[in-house]
Chains A and B, each alone.
Chain A
Amino acid sequence: MATTVITGRDLSLTIDSKSYDAQATSVTLKTNLERNAYETIDGKAFYALDTTAELSITMLADWGVNSPSYSICELLWGKADSAPNTALAYTFTAATGAVFTGSVYPSFPDAGGTGKDAQTVTFVLQGTAKPTLTIS
């Protein structure tokens, strides 16, 4: 098999029908499988209990930028402020043919930065459930 390389250029993220590609510098979808371990007389046994997911995003801040497009920071802040218990659907493409879908709860993006650099925000969005992977 030839070596395959996929890069950040293959990534794509949409949350609540808004594309994050132009602003996001790093996106990671982490799915955790929680297991209990039991010491039995035959040795250690594991049992899967629950699955959680979280979406970690680092992006260039876009506070105050609503023209000609929209501000992701302000959209997310508005959702976290007005409907924090309403999940937002997301689509996260790792590469063509490998697409994760699910829902995350909104959270408040950070605001701030250093004097020299472009402002960036980092936040973690908690998933409602294990994402669905669609392979095509």
Chain B
Amino acid sequence: MARRKFATLKSFLDYIGVEGDRTIFTWVSASEGERFANVIKGVTAKVMALGPATKLVKQL
């Protein structure tokens, strides 16, 4: 069910114009330390490439 929710959320955010690379979803077990590190590296690399988020961000 989480898989279904994320599949639609990612697709919908992309549709309204929030870059698809900003919505990242994956499964990591608590025992997979190395995989977790790799995931975070991957996520930061993707987000760095996009630059700071400006959409749906509230300026106070």
Determine if chain A interacts with chain B. Answer: no
